Amino acid sequence: MEVCSAVDVKCIKSNSTLREFGCEQSLLSRPDGSASFIQGDTSVMAAVYGPAEVKVSKEIYDRATLEVVIQAKVGLPSVKERSQEQCVRETCEASLLMLLHPRSSLTLILQVLHDHGSLLACFLNAACMALMDAGLPMSCLFCGVTCAIASDGQITMDPTAVQEKESRAVLTFAIDSTEQKVMMSSTKGSFSVQELHECIALSQKASENIFKFYRVSVQRRYSKTL
Amino acid sequence: MESCLKGRVGEVLLPGDVFRLARTETTISLSDPEPDPLRTQKVVCGPGLRRDGDHVVVSCKSGVLKHKQPNMYWVDSQQRRYVPAKGESVIGIITAKSGDVFKVDVGGSEQASLSYLAFEGATKRNRPNVQVGDLVYAQLIIANKDMEPELVCIDSSGRANGMGVFGAGGLLFKVSLGLVRRLLTPQNEIVKGLEKLFPCELVLGMNGRVWVRAATVQKTLIVANLLESSENMTAQQRPILFKRVADGNLQIKKEGGRERDMESE
Amino acid sequence: MKDTPLSNCERDFLLKAIEEKKRLDGRQTYDYRNIKLRFGADYGCCIVDLGKTRVMAQVSCELVTPKESRPNEGILFFNLELSPMASPAFELGRSSELLVKLNRQLERCLRNSHCIDTESLCVVSGEKVWQIRVDVHMLNHDGNLMDATSIAAIAALSHFKRPDVGVQGDQVTVYSPEERNPIALSIYHMPICVSLSFFQQGTYLLVDPCEREERVMDGLLMITMNKHREICSIQSSGGIMLLKEQAMTEITDLIMRALENDKKTRKEGGKCGFAEYMPLARITVNTTDDTSVDMTGPVVVISDSEDEEDVVILHPETL
C-alpha cells in the first residue's frame, strides 16, 4: 500500500451528476413490501416477503434466512445474476436485524425492468426501499452508487450503459447511512489505489443525495394525516 | 434524550436515526433535597425503537414518531406482515388437527398451536367441535421470537369472553396492521360511521384480518369494501364516501373502481 | 413459503355471493377489471395491469439455424416464469402444474393461431432465420394470469422491431438500429385469451376471476379469440358453457390505442420508457431530476493498510 499523508489531487476530472431518480412504494398487492426504483432509464422492481415460514432444511436457529433472487428480463439466470445476488445479500445481511426473527425466512426478489447502466446500484436502492416498505427492522439504510473510470482517468458517476462499455473500470459501492462506510464493493476492470479512493469519496458524497431522496420519499408517503 | 425525542414527535423517522442522551453527571448529590427531574427521566421505547448502548436510542423502522404520556415513545409504521406478540387477540384459521392440538395459521412466520382444552367447557370427554378451515378468535399467551406461538380461547377465569370458533355467513378479508389498530381505538370515526350505515357484526384480529357480517350479502360486501378503502382515505374524504353509500347508492359496481382510485390519491 | 389457507367461511360466502350474482369488488358477471398497458424504452417490452394482476413481457430476437422440417420459417419461442414476486406460493425453479398449463396455453394461443408471419422471418433459407423469443414474468398474482399474459405477449410482439438484415451472396449483415431503422413483425391478427371460471358444477360462470374466486372455482374455460370473432383455441377443464365475447373488441382497441400513443411519442422524440408512466400524483411516488453531488467539505478516506495512520484527504476544490 502506498504511504501518503495528504494527496494533491488537483487533476481529478469527474462528472459528478447523478441521473434523475424516481421511486414508487407499495405498488404490488401480494408482497409484504414492494418498491420500484428508476435511475435515468434503468428501472428495477423489488418485492419482499417476510418474516415468513422457512423450510426446515434452510432454517437457522438464531437468525432469519435471507434469500435474494434476481430475475433478468431475457433468458435463464446465469452466473452474472448469481454474483449480483451475492452482493445484494451481503449488504442486506449487514443492515437487517436478523437476530429478531430466528427460524423465519426473508425473501427479496428483484426484477430488471430495463437496464441502461448502473444496474447493481439500482438493485441496492430498490432493495433498501422495499425492505423499508415491508417494515423489516434495520440498523441502518444503504444505497448503491456506481462510478465508471474512462481511459483518460475521468470519473463518471451513475454511468449509462454506453459510458460503462467505453470505460476502463466500473466500480459499484454500497454505502451505509449512519457512518457513510462502504458495506460492499464490486469492481470490474483495472484501476489504481488512488482512483479507488477517489471513487469511494465521490460515492460517499453522492450517497448523501440518495439518502435525502429516501427521506423525502418516506416523508411524502406519511404526509397524509389519516 | 427525552427532550430531543419529544422535539421530534410527529416527524417521520428512518431506520438508523439516532437519539443521543446528553452525558449527565454520574454522581448524585445527597444533600440535594429534591431530585432533579431531568436526571431521573425514564423513556419507554415501544415498537420501532431500540436501545443501542447506554445512552443511545435508534429507530429500526420507518414511520411517524408517536408519544403517549408520560414517557412512552414508538414508531408508527404501515406494515402488512404480522409478527406475533403476547396478549394480542387474533383471528386464526385452523389448518390441521394433530392429536390434542390444533395448528392455527395466524399470518406469522410459524403456525400457532391451540390446545383442544383451551375452549370454554372443554374436557377430555367433551371435545370442542372444531374442523379444519374454521375461523377462531383467540388470544396469544406465548409469543416470542424463540418459541412456537400458543393460543387460547379462554381468559384467565375460564370464560370464553367472545373468543372461540365463529364465522358462518360472514366475509373474511385482510387489511394492514395500522388500519386494525386505528379501528380498535375507542370512539374512532370509521366504526362510528359504519354504525350509522347499517347494523353489522365486526371481528377485528390484530394480525390484520377482519371479519364482517351484515344482514344481506350485498351489505356485507359494501362494509368490506368501505373498510378496505378507508385505509388510505383522510378524515375529510371518508364521510363523503359514507354519505354516498348511505344515500341508498348501494350499487358499488363502478364505485368499486373509483374507491380504488381514491386510494391512490 | 405457503400461501394463507382458504377458510370454510370465505368459501361459503363467495359461493353464496356468486349465486346471488354478486362479486367481491362489485363487478358484474361479465365485467373485466381495469386494464392498463405500458411500454418500455426499448422495443418489445410491455407491462400489463389487469386490476391488481401485473405481468411483464419482453420480446427479443437472434439469428439461428432453422428447423429441418421447416427451413423457410422463423422460430417462435415462449418462456413463462412464475416469479416468486407474484405470490408467496410460487417457488423459483419449481415447475408446477400451473406453469405448464400457462405455457401450453400461451403457445397454443400465439403459435397455433398463426398470428405472426413466420415466413417473413427467414433470412437465408435453410441456414439463417430469426428466432423470436417471448419472455413473460409474473409480477403480481391477483387472479387470471392467463389473460394478462396473452395481452402482454401480443402487445409486446406488436411493439417489437427487429434489426434490418442485408444479404449479399453468402454474407449476411445485421444492421444496428442506428444504421438502419428496425422493422416491425408482421402480425395478422391479435389473439387474446378470455378466461371463464365455473362454479357449482357449471351453473354459474364469471369472466376474469380474481384470486379468491379462482380458489373456489370448479373449472376454467380459456377461449382465445381475436377481434374478428374467430376462435383460435379453446381449452377447458370443467363443464361447457355459452359465452359472450363483447370484451374482445374493447381489449383489442385498447392495445391498438396504446401502441399508437407510444409510436407518436417516439416519433416526436419524447421520452419513453417506464419512467414516464410513474403516477406523480400519488404520495407513494417520488421523483427528482438530475442532481449534482455536493463537493464542498473535505472527505476523509481511510485506507486500510499495514500502518494505520495512512489517511488520504481529498481537497474538495480539486474534485
pLDDT: which is higher, C68 or B38: C68
- Structural domain contains residue C136: yes
Q: How many CB pairs below 8 Å do chains A and B form together?
A: 91
> Under a CB-based contact definition with an 8 Å cutoff, are residues C293 and C316 in contact?
no
Residues B99 and B42 in one domain: no
Residues B39 and B103 in one domain: no
Residues B152 and B180 in one domain: no
What is the domain-level CATH number for residue B186?
Answer: 3.30.1370.10
Question: Is the alpha carbon torsion for A178, B83, B63, C274 positive or negative?
Answer: positive
User: In a mutagenesis test of the B interface, which of A27, A99, A139, A175 is the best target, namely the one with the most B β-carbons within 10 Å?
Assistant: A139
Is the Cβ of C318 closer than 8 Å to some Cβ of chain B? Answer: no
- Structural domain contains residue C309: no
Q: CB distance C41–A41 less than 8 Å?
A: yes
- Structural domain contains residue A89: yes
**Touching partners of C (3+ C-beta pairs < 8 Å):** A, B
Nearest CA-CA distance, residue C271 and chain A, Å: 10
| Residue-averaged pLDDT of chain B | 81
| Nearest neighbour of A197 by CB, restricted to C41, C81, C301 | C301
Full pLDDT tens readout for chain C, 319 residues: 678 888 899 999 999 998 888 888 888 887 888 888 888 888 889 999 988 999 999 999 988 888 888 888 888 999 998 999 999 888 877 778 888 888 888 888 888 878 888 888 888 888 888 999 999 999 999 988 998 999 899 889 988 988 888 888 878 888 888 888 888 888 888 888 888 888 887 778 888 888 998 888 888 878 787 766 666 666 666 544 444 444 556 666 666 776 676 666 666 554 455 555 555 556 666 666 666 666 555 544 444 434 333 344 444 433 3
- Structural domain contains residue A209: yes
Contacts of C290 in chain A (CB under 8 A): 17-20
Number of structural domains found in chain B: 3
| pLDDT score for B256 | 38
Structural domain including B45 reads 2-76
- Structural domain contains residue C2: no
Task: Of A110, A92, A124, give the one whose Cα is nearest residue A210.
Answer: A124
Residues B229 and B259 in one domain: yes
- Structural domain contains residue A14: no
Number of structural domains found in chain C: 1
- Structural domain contains residue C3: no
Q: CB distance B109–A226 less than 8 Å?
A: no
- Structural domain contains residue C312: no
What is the domain-level CATH number for residue B31?
Answer: 2.40.50.100
Structural domain including A164 reads 19-221
Whether the predicted pLDDT of A83 surpasses 60: yes
Nearest CA-CA distance, residue B233 and chain C, Å: 12
Cβ-count burial of C187 within 10 angstroms (0-12 exposed, 13-18 middle, 19+ buried)? middle
| pLDDT score for C43 | 86
Nearest CA-CA distance, residue A218 and chain B, Å: 7
Residues B179 and B154 in one domain: no
- Structural domain contains residue A84: yes
Residues B117 and B37 in one domain: no
| Nearest neighbour of B93 by CB, restricted to C7, C24, C27 | C7
What is the domain-level CATH number for residue A144?
Answer: 3.30.230.70
Contacts of A102 in chain B (CB under 8 A): 145-146
Give per-residue pLDDT as tens, A105-156.
Answer: 999 999 999 999 899 999 999 999 999 999 999 999 999 999 999 988 889 9
Q: Which three cell numbers stand for residue A74?
A: 431475457
Which band of pLDDT confidence, cut at 50, 70 and 90, is reported for residue B160?
confident
Q: Where are the alpha helices (DSSP H) in chain C?
A: 8-19, 97-110, 145-159, 211-216, 247-267
CB under 8 Å to C204, separation ≥6 — which residues? C18, C19, C21, C29, C198
User: pTM value?
Assistant: 0.86
| pLDDT score for B193 | 85
Residue in the structure block whose three cell numbers are 358462518:
B168
pLDDT: which is higher, C316 or A194: A194
Alpha-carbon gap, residue C316 to C109, rounded angstroms: 61
- Structural domain contains residue C32: yes
Residue in the structure block whose three cell numbers are 421511486:
A23
- Structural domain contains residue B83: no
| Nearest neighbour of A157 by CB, restricted to C60, C293, C299 | C293
Which band of pLDDT confidence, cut at 50, 70 and 90, is reported for residue B249?
low
- Structural domain contains residue A210: yes
Contacts of C27 in chain B (CB under 8 A): 253, 256
Number of structural domains found in chain A: 1
- Structural domain contains residue A3: no
Q: CB distance B58–A139 less than 8 Å?
A: yes
Q: CB distance C275–A20 less than 8 Å?
A: yes
| Nearest neighbour of A109 by CB, restricted to C84, C307, C312 | C84
Q: CB distance B16–A140 less than 8 Å?
A: yes
Structural domain including C233 reads 8-292
Nearest CA-CA distance, residue C203 and chain B, Å: 19
- Structural domain contains residue A160: yes
Contacts of B12 in chain A (CB under 8 A): 215, 218-219, 222
| Nearest neighbour of C22 by CB, restricted to B105, B134, B217 | B217
Q: Which three cell numbers stand for residue A93?
A: 445481511
Alpha-carbon gap, residue C56 to C139, rounded angstroms: 7
What is the domain-level CATH number for residue C225?
Answer: 3.30.230.70
Minimum Cα–Cα distance from C84: chain A residue: A109
Is the Cβ of B15 closer than 8 Å to some Cβ of chain A? Answer: yes
Minimum Cα–Cα distance from C313: chain A residue: A6
